[in-house]
């Protein structure tokens, strides 16, 4: 794995114990990067670290809540103590749940902002100065198709994921002259634990079965099926590869054709 296009690069992927983050961490390791796996769940993080090492890659397993500054600082220190720096940061942590706006208390609103936006701010803050000093770095923020269009029962999530796209576009311009690329990925329906939980919540709210909701959702996807975390990982792999030196501030859709702008 040491002769891939990311040979010599150090990556950190937040929330990489499962779902999209897990596939992204494995992809970056496969491309030759040493990967800092991070999750709030120790067991999940450890199993991804083991998978990477078993496949011949190198991983540092870290555990911490991406919404808490002291924990993010500790994780950042562990990464820097082990590898000296982080060149590639993937802000993947996020949360979506079906909730009607009229049922959404301030604490719910803040939970979605914390998971989707605070986590991105906190990790970027820890690593951006080092990237600027070295004039080298790539940041990829995981947004959503809800970062391009609004979805019912996902008002806070849609607001936050539009925020992820805005953050990406603004920061990309702010640090372009420092040799840093900042891009976002906007996945559609991807088969992860959070996706299945969301379909169940949606079905309950609509008084339908999960199977009915699944059918309706798939019917709205031009390419006719839900996506896999590996599809998201492929796009991230491209965005952090040497092929994208002249690409920044973009929000790339990977949604089976569902989102087209
Ligand atoms: N699955 C989809 O359909 C879909 C679509 C669009 C965007 N996304 C985005 O992809 C990202 C990952 O979602 P997923 O579907 O893979 O979720 P997932 O639930 O499968 O995995 C999320 C991982 O993050 C970890 N995590 C949760 N809270 C954390 C915290 N505070 N600190 C650190 N780690 C934490 C979990 O333990 C878990 O391992 C999110 O930003 C989500 O909004 C997902």
Asked if the structure places residue 36 within a domain, the reply is: yes
Cα gap 144→49, rounded to integer Å: 26
Same domain assignment for residues 214 and 151: no
pLDDT band at 13 (very low <50, low <70, confident <90, very high): very high
Ligand 1 site, residue 17, Cβ cutoff 6 A: yes
| Number of domains forming the structure of the chain | 2
First-to-final CA distance of the chain:
36
Q: Check if 151 is active-site.
A: no
Asked if the structure places residue 61 within a domain, the reply is: yes
Same domain assignment for residues 109 and 133: yes
For residue 212, the enclosing domain spans: 191-226
Query: pTM for the full model?
Result: 0.98
Cα gap 118→110, rounded to integer Å: 10
Nearest CA to ligand 1 atom 36: 15
pLDDT band at 187 (very low <50, low <70, confident <90, very high): very high
Ligand 1 site, residue 92, Cβ cutoff 6 A: yes
Asked if the structure places residue 182 within a domain, the reply is: yes
Please give the backbone phi and psi of residue 37, each rounded to the nearest 5 degrees, phi first: -85, 135
Ligand 1 site, residue 44, Cβ cutoff 6 A: yes
Q: Which residue out of 83, 123, 157, 189 is catalytically annotated?
A: 157
Asked if the structure places residue 3 within a domain, the reply is: no
Could you identify the atom of ligand 1 that is nearest to the CA of residue 68? Answer: 31
Same domain assignment for residues 87 and 139: yes
Ligand 1 site, residue 40, Cβ cutoff 6 A: yes
* pLDDT tens column, 51-101: 999 999 999 999 999 999 999 999 999 999 999 999 999 999 999 999 999
Same domain assignment for residues 136 and 150: yes
């Amino acid at each position: 794995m040491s002769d891939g296009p990311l040979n010599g690069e150090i990556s950190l992927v937040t929330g990489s114990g499962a779902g999209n983050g897990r596939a992204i961490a494995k992809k970056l390791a496969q491309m030759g990067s040493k990967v800092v796996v991070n999750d709030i769940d120790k067991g999940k993080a450890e199993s991804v670290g083991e998978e990477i090492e078993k496949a011949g890659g190198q991983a540092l397993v870290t555990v911490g809540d991406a919404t808490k500054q002291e924990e993010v600082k500790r994780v950042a220190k562990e990464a820097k103590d082990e590898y000296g720096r982080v060149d590639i940061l993937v802000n993947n942590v996020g949360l979506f749940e079906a909730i009607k706006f009229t049922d959404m208390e301030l604490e719910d609103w803040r939970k979605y902002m914390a998971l989707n936006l605070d986590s991105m701010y906190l990790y970027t803050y820890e690593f951006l100065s080092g990237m600027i000093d070295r004039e080298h770095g790539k940041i990829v923020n995981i947004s959503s198709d809800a970062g391009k269009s609004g979805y019912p029962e996902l008002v806070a999530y849609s607001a936050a994921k539009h925020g992820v796209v805005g953050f990406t576009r603004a920061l990309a311009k702010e640090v372009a002259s420092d040799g840093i690329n900042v891009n976002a990925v906007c996945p559609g329906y991807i088969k992860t634990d959070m996706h299945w939980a969301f379909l169940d919540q949606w079905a309950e709210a609509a008084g339908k079965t999960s199977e009915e909701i699944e059918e309706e959702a798939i019917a709205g996807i031009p390419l006719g099926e839900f996506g896999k975390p590996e599809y998201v990982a492929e796009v991230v792999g491209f965005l952090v590869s040497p092929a994208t030196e002249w690409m920044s501030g973009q929000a790339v859709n990977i949604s089976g054709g569902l989102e087209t702008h």
